[in-house]
Amino acid sequence: MRRVFAIVLAAGIALAAAPLQAQDLGPHVRKVRDGIFVYAAKPADANVTIIETREGVVLIDTGQTPAESRIVSGIVKKLTLHPVRFIIHTEPHGDHTSGNFVFSPPAFVVAHAGAAESMKKANFEARNKQLIAAYPEMREALQGYRLVTPHIEYSQKMTLAVGERTLELIYLKNVHSEADTAIWMPQERILWAAASVGVKRYPNLRPFLTIDDILASIRMMRALNPEVVIAGHGEPGTTQIFDEMERYYMLLLERVGNLARLGKSLDEIKQELRMPEFDDWAAKERFSSNVELAYKAVGGK
């Protein structure tokens, strides 16, 4: 594995330092495996993964904002002399993709079919303006901004081989956005689950999603038997992330189903339903969208 070594020249003696560790790369960087690092400044931020290979770097997503993408670019430069060759998107939303321009060219962007269309519709320019209004330093990070949509869109499944690494891209249907991708590294046994699951956080369930599809995706990903699971947002973990999410949906379906069978309306269920087991989860404002989808799943009209 190619590494950058800090060479100290003193009195004619060259000392090679140890390979860079996560703590040498700056705050909020976590080493998952040799040459694989995850970055997110805040727990709720979208994760970025940096994967070193002997033929250059693969990034998974580009960070919550372009300012985060600049930080990631700095981390990559500390790690290796190679550029980012590929960016894989777990989803097309701006908190995962709006930093493409920082790396491309030369990086090629890969996503599932539908991603480019979703990005073009999303109006990232408006998002960028809001970011600048909230964080003046964002203006500098956005220098040279362009919308860079995927160069390669795959359908259902794709294998990307870069250097010694193999990444399998797997489409996740109806779990979060119009184009969600799980990424599986079979040798390293690491799985990126996209936003099909959250970590102690209520999911953002849009009306076109289905809980059945989400549960099917969770079962498919668990069957790969990963050692590390990395969600779109939240700390890297294990298949416990799947267990907890599945438990949440099963209880949600059971309770919404019971109330629906008692003849309760959707509005009444939203008022009455309690999920005390998940009181410590963030993003509670999304709960009502969760009840709506569960109501549909149990046959409520």
Task: Please report, as ranges, the residues that interact with Zn ion according to CB under 5 A.
Answer: 91, 93
* DSSP codes of every residue in 38-79: EE-SSTTSBPEEEEEETTEEEEE---SSHHHHHHHHHHHHHH
Q: How far is the CB of 281 from Zn ion (least distance, A)?
A: 17
Q: Which is nearer to Zn ion, 53 or 196 (CB)?
A: 196
Asked if 85 and 112 touch (Cβ cutoff 8 Å), the reply is: no
3-state secondary structure of 105: coil
Q: How far is the CB of 128 from Zn ion (least distance, A)?
A: 17
3-state secondary structure of 109: strand
3-state secondary structure 185-220: ECCCCEEEEECCCCCCECCCCCCCCCHHHHHHHHHH
Q: Which is nearer to Zn ion, 57 or 230 (CB)?
A: 230
Q: Which is nearer to Zn ion, 64 or 239 (CB)?
A: 64
Report which residue's Cβ sits closest to Zn ion: 93
For residues 1-20, one letter each, b for 16 or more C-beta atoms within 10 angstroms of the residue's C-beta and e for the rest, the string is: eeeeeeeeeeeeeeeeeeeb
Asked if 70 and 179 touch (Cβ cutoff 8 Å), the reply is: no
Q: How far is the CB of 177 from Zn ion (least distance, A)?
A: 6
Q: Which is nearer to Zn ion, 70 or 93 (CB)?
A: 93
Terminal Cα distance for the chain, rounded: 57
Q: How far is the CB of 46 from Zn ion (least distance, A)?
A: 8
The amino acid present at 235, given as its one-letter code, is E
Q: How far is CA 75 from CA 50, 51, 57, 67, in A?
A: 9, 11, 11, 13
Q: Which is nearer to Zn ion, 91 or 188 (CB)?
A: 91
Cβ neighbours around 227 below 10 Å, total: 12
Q: Which is nearer to Zn ion, 56 or 232 (CB)?
A: 232
Q: How far is the CB of 296 from Zn ion (least distance, A)?
A: 21
What DSSP state is assigned to residue 108?
E
- Quickly tell me which residue has 């249907």 as its tokens: 173
Q: Supply 137's token pair.
A: 């330093």
Q: Which is nearer to Zn ion, 93 or 264 (CB)?
A: 93
Q: How far is the CB of 194 from Zn ion (least distance, A)?
A: 9
Q: How far is the CB of 161 from Zn ion (least distance, A)?
A: 28
Q: Which is nearer to Zn ion, 89 or 165 (CB)?
A: 89
Q: How far is the CB of 67 from Zn ion (least distance, A)?
A: 18
